[in-house]
Amino acid sequence: MAHNPFSNVSQAAHSWSSGDFSAIIRDKRDDEIGKLGNDLNTMAEQLENLLDRRQEISVLEERNRLARDLHDSVKQQALLPPLSLRLQKRALGQIRSGLLTIWSRLKS
């Protein structure tokens, strides 16, 4: 029974399509099929590296997003006390003004 030279290529390609890049085409031939196997192995390795880098970038982007959200939240919290204090002063001023108006009416 003759050995099918594309059997290893097919098995490796099937593994790669499932995300398993540990599969390697093992063909020691010194012809076009052997070169194709080597080239496909190189391509699979580069694809795995690219996917790893993409995952690292996604993690970094998520960390940056969380850092921005945290920064914005802290910034808002830092701005609330002065804003709240201004509103309280304004409200106290209005209450004082209202009390003075009432007091002046009571006096007259």
pLDDT at 2: 47
Give per-residue pLDDT as tens, 48-86. Answer: 999 999 999 999 999 999 998 888 887 777 766 776 777
2 inside domain? no
Q: What was the pLDDT predicted at 79?
A: 67
Q: Is residue 84 part of a domain?
A: yes
Query: Could you give the CA distance from residue 94 to residue 31 in angstroms, rounded to a whole number?
Result: 93
pLDDT at 3: 66
Beta strands per DSSP E along the chain: none
Does residue 1 sit within a domain? no
Number of domains in the chain: 1
Domain span at residue 42 reads 7-107
37 is a domain residue: yes
For residue range 15-56, list pLDDT tens digits in order: 999 999 999 998 888 888 889 999 999 999 999 999 999 999
In contact, 27 and 37? CB cutoff 8 Å: yes
